[in-house]
């Protein structure tokens, strides 16, 4: 048990608790809830075990599903995000991202922001596609995705920089 | 053989991903199919406990409004009691209807209204005699139907769920229709398939119909807000303003129809004989 594992377990529990206690109950304009719990997947170490990430994302999504009575939509969206994460790293930070030391939770650069943005959009669009489950309501799906993405982005970046303020 | 192992080893992450995605997608599809109970719900010891704890704190903020609601309901019940056999005024209480209904009280500990398929969690379960397909109402009107139960908690399909269909009627002339939700506004529902010969006016009261085995007849639902004509079927579609504020629910009543077993077995026999 090294400190990274403990940090990640703590992050898992903390983000889950905050999601269930606070963010699921916001209901801005009656239907917008942010989902900053996916920060766990984004902040998972770059060179950490991939199987570990997939499994923990699955259970993270499943527990959120349990609290929200939403079947398995969060689990599916989280697993897909966890699987696609290396691709998004490549897209945002360049091919040789594994040799750089990527720290998401530092000063907000365009690369970091684009990574967070792509991840959040991917997760939310899968989430609403599966939740609404009807192509005739595609406008509704896109509208909800857009609003929730904006809300989640604001909350997520706030959380990152509140907890770990960048060095000047 | 060696190659198969090599393949599995090389693509282990992809295979694990597909396995987990398969599990979650099957859960999603299961939750979208109508007559199957879902396996992952908030009616379990862990989430029920968490929601109960949150509710224990939150209930203090709504004590005043809840007291006023209960007092208003008491006044309504007293009115019925003092007026004796006044059959017109008895429509707000389920107990006034002839039938074999048992009513118990419960509390909403978790509520959702922003999604297309909304569920509530209440703090009564099989230990309190709650079973699947019992009706849930508040003092103002219909709320939903019990779906999953655990020992101490149950989930309720809210009327704000695109998969719910309730039998309802216009109170003054007994014309039947089907109550649905279009997934848009938490204050309104739709009453569809109302025949064109029915006389409908804005402001008419909609109540539960007598064909349901779940709810007693004449439980209030809402008022007619707008009248549409369905171009395909030539039936009326009515927009109903719900009496309940579905965004703030606390005390609810669970209605059990003691005759449900008898009715459903009888109906099953009848259809089997055809």
User: Please, which residues bridge with residue B104 across strands?
Assistant: B254
Q: Does A142 touch chain B (CB under 8 A)?
A: no
Q: Are strands B205-208 and B154-161 parallel, antiparallel or unpaired?
A: unpaired
The answer to whether A51 contacts B12, with C-beta atoms less than 8 Å apart, is yes
What is the token pair recorded at B125?
Answer: 């379960």
- Among the partner-chain residues B12, B40, B50, the one whose CB lies closest to the CB of A72 is B40
CA pair distance A140, A133, nearest whole angstrom: 11
B272 pLDDT higher than 80: no
CB contact under 8 Å between A80 and B21, yes or no, is: yes
* Residue whose entry in the numeric block shows the structure tokens 């849930």: B136
Q: Is the pLDDT of residue B16 over 50?
A: yes
Distance CA B103, CA B137 (A): 10
Give the minimum alpha-carbon distance from A126 to chain B in angstroms, rounded to a whole number. 11
Helix (H, G, I), strand (E, B) or coil at B191: strand
* Mean local confidence (pLDDT), B224-233: 84
Dihedral sign of CA atoms B234, B240, B246, B249 in order: negative
Q: Which residue has the higher pLDDT, A97 or A142?
A: A142
Closest-CA residue to B117 (of B156, B161, B164): B161
- A126 touches B at CB < 8 Å: no
Distance CA B172, CA B247 (A): 28
CA distance B255 to chain A (A): 23
The interface predicted TM-score (ipTM) is 0.85
Whether the pLDDT of residue B136 is over 50: the answer is: yes
Q: Does B255 score more than 60 pLDDT?
A: yes
| B41 exposure class (CB count in 10 Å sphere: 0-12, 13-18, 19+) | buried
Q: Is the pLDDT of residue B89 over 60?
A: no
Residue B87 pLDDT class (50, 70, 90 cuts): low
Question: Average pLDDT for residues A119-130, to the nearest whole number?
Answer: 92
In this complex, the residue of B17, B40, B54 whose CB is nearest that of residue A65 is B40
Q: Which tokens is A56 given?
A: 């923990």
Of how many residues is chain B composed? 274
**Residue A110 burial by Cβ neighbours in a 10 Å radius (0-12, 13-18, 19+):** exposed
Per-residue pLDDT at B160 exceeds 70: yes
Q: Looking at chain B, which residue has its C-alpha nearest residue A67?
A: B42
Specify the higher pLDDT residue, B98 or A55.
Answer: A55
Higher pLDDT, residue B261 or B87: B261
Q: Which two tokens stand for residue A12?
A: 């898992």
**Which residue does chain B place closest to A78, by CA atoms?**
B21
Our CA dihedral for B39, B45, B50, B55, rounded to 10 degrees, sits at 100
Name the residue among B30, B12, B92, B19 with its Cα closest to residue B253. B92
pLDDT tens, position by position, A48-94: 888 999 999 999 999 999 998 888 899 999 999 999 998 998 888 87
A15 to chain B nearest CA, in Å? 15
Residue B264 has pLDDT above 90, yes or no: no
Grade residue A168 by pLDDT with cuts at 50, 70 and 90: very low
Cα separation, B157 vs B163, whole angstroms: 9
The pLDDT of residue B218 is above 90: no
**C-alpha closest to that of B257 among B116, B112, B41, B99:** B99
Read off the pLDDT of each residue in B160-172 and give the average, rounded to a whole number.
Answer: 88
* Residue B209: DSSP 8-state: -
**Higher model confidence: residue B99 or residue A52?**
A52
Long-range contacts of A128-137 (CB under 8 A, 24+ apart): A130/A71, A130/A72, A130/A73, A130/A76, A130/A77, A130/B25, A130/B28, A131/A70, A131/A71, A131/A73, A131/B115, A131/B116, A131/B117, A132/B116, A133/B28, A133/B32, A137/B183
Residues of chain B with C-beta less than 8 angstroms from the C-beta of A83: 13, 17, 21
Q: Do B42 and A72 touch (CB under 8 A)?
A: no
Q: Report whether CATH 2.40.10.350 matches the domain B166-242.
A: yes
Buried b (16+ CB within 10 A) or exposed e, A20-38: beebbeeeeeebebbbbbb
Q: Do B27 and A65 touch (CB under 8 A)?
A: yes
> For all residues of chain B together, what is the average pLDDT?
85
Look at B115 and B99; give whichever has higher pLDDT: B115
The residue of chain A with its CA nearest to that of B30 is A71
Q: What secondary structure does DSSP assign to A112-133, as a single string?
A: HHHHHHHHHHHHHHHHHHHHH-
B90 pLDDT above the threshold of 60: no
pLDDT in tens, B24-50: 999 888 887 765 566 777 778 888 888
pLDDT at B86 exceeding the cut of 80: no
User: What are the structural domain ranges in chain B?
Assistant: 45-163+246-268, 166-242
| CATH 3.40.50.720 assigned to B45-163+246-268 | no
The pLDDT of residue A151: 92
């Amino acid at each position: 048990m090294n400190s990274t594992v403990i940090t990640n377990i703590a992050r898992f529990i903390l983000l889950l608790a905050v999601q269930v206690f606070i963010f699921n109950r916001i209901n801005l304009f009656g239907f917008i809830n942010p989902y900053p719990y996916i920060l766990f997947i984004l902040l998972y170490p770059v060179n950490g075990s991939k199987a570990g990430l997939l499994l923990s994302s699955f259970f993270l999504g499943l527990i959120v599903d349990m609290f929200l009575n939403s079947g398995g939509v969060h689990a599916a969206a989280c697993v897909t995000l966890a699987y696609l994460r290396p691709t998004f790293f490549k897209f945002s930070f360049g091919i040789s991202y594994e040799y750089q030391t990527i720290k998401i939770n530092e000063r907000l650069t365009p690369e970091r922001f684009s990574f967070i943005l792509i991840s959040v959009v991917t997760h939310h669009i899968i989430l609403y596609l599966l939740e609404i489950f009807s192509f005739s309501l595609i406008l509704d799906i896109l509208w909800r995705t857009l609003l929730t993405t904006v809300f989640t982005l604001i909350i997520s970046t706030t959380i990152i920089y509140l907890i770990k303020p960048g060095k000047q | 053989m060696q190659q198969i192992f090599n393949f599995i080893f090389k693509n282990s992450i992809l295979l694990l991903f597909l396995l987990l995605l398969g599990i979650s997608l099957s859960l999603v599809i299961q939750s979208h199919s109508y007559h199957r109970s879902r396996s992952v719900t908030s009616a379990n010891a862990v989430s029920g406990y968490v929601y109960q704890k949150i509710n224990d704190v939150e209930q203090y903020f709504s004590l005043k409004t809840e007291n006023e609601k209960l007092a208003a309901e008491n006044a309504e019940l007293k009115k019925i009691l003092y007026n004796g056999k006044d059959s017109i005024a008895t429509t707000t209480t389920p107990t006034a209807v002839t039938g074999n209904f048992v009513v118990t009280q419960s509390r909403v500990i978790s509520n959702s209204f922003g999604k297309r398929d909304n569920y509530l969690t209440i703090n009564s379960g099989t230990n309190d005699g709650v079973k699947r397909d019992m009706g849930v109402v508040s003092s103002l009107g219909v709320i939903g139907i019990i779906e999953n139960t655990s020992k101490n908690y149950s989930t309720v399909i809210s009327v704000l769920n695109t998969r719910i269909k309730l039998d309802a009627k216009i109170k003054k002339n007994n014309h039947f229709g089907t109550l649905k939700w279009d997934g848009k506004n938490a204050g309104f529902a739709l009453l569809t398939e109302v025949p064109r010969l029915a006389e409908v006016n804005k402001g008419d009261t909609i109540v539960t119909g007598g064909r349901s085995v779940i709810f007693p007849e004449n439980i209030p639902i809402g008022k007619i807000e707008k009248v549409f004509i369905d171009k395909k079927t030539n039936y009326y579609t009515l927009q109903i303003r719900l009496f309940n504020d579905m965004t703030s629910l606390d005390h609810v009543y669970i209605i059990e129809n003691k005759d449900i077993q008898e009715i459903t077995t009888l109906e099953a026999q009848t259809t089997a004989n055809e």
